Amino acid sequence: MAAIEGFMEAMAERHACKRFDESKKIPEAQLRTLLEIGRLSPSSFGMEPWRFLVIRDKELKEKLRPLCWNQPQITECSELVVIKALVGPLAPGSAYPRNMLSRRDLPREKIEAYFKKYDDFSAERFGRGELACWSVKQCYIAAGNMMTGAMAMGIDSCAIEGFEKEKVEALLKMDVAKETLALIIAFGYRLKEPPARVRLPFDEIVSFR
């Protein structure tokens, strides 16, 4: 009971923080907890396609900001986490999915059946040019968990996809055959209270049949 109350409190309290208090730093242990929340997140076929890059280099953050619509969160936050999504290694028949699926404690024939299922599934997405998008979707699940988890520790956040993707990838020297930029999240502490929350009414977005 207490757990759900705490969770709902974090859900209600979290907001997209636009200005961070630059004087406040996230304790290292809490940053690690945040990253751990990302690591423990669910992913389709258990592919864990996220890779988290924590950018602490001040100069790099300053170069990044103009490529992110000049958003102040990039340089004012306490910790900036770039979430990269694997793409190339997820291709059907690759070693990575085989290694990931082989970790399961299942009989060999079941593992082989999983390989086939994954290959068919990923080949279809690959054929439609949707493999990168599929990988990014998984990263967004981790991102959501991390932002709520952060709030449960009293840490504010802002998801940022307002960026020039190719330019950020080039700045971060990303191998785009291997991975694609999914999302950036700024974490820190609010400078001022957020505006009132706006959400559609429950009955407008939920239906039962």
Ligand X SMILES: Cc1cc2nc3c(=O)[nH]c(=O)nc-3n(C[C@H](O)[C@H](O)[C@H](O)COP(=O)(O)O)c2cc1C
- Per the document, the length of the chain is 209
- Among 8, 112, 162, 171, interactor with ligand X by CB under 6 A: 162
Using CB under 6 A as the binding rule, whether residue 160 contacts ligand X is answered as yes
Given a contact cutoff of 8 angstroms between Cβ atoms, the answer to whether 7 and 148 are in contact is yes
Using CB under 6 A, which residues numbered 71 to 130 contact ligand X?
71
By CB under 6 A, which span of 14-22, 43-51, 114-122, 124-132 interacts with ligand X? 14-22
197 binds ligand X (CB under 6 A): yes
Radius of gyration of the chain (CA): 19
Quick one: which of 8, 12, 16, 170 contacts ligand X (CB under 6 A)?
A: 16
Reading the block at residue 20, the tokens are 């961070």
Binding residues for ligand X restricted to 18-57, rule: CB under 6 A: 18
Q: Show the CA angle centred on residue 195, arms to residues 190 and 200, nearest 5°.
A: 125
Q: Which stretch binds ligand X (CB under 6 A): 49-57, 102-110, 157-165, 167-175?
A: 157-165
Does the footprint of ligand X cover residue 158 (CB under 6 A)?
A: yes
Site stretch for ligand X (CB under 6 A), options 84-92, 106-114, 128-136, 154-162: 154-162
- Point out which span in 10-18, 36-44, 101-109, 170-178 binds ligand X (CB under 6 A): 10-18
Residues forming the site for ligand X (CB under 6 A): 15-16, 18, 71, 158-162, 183, 197
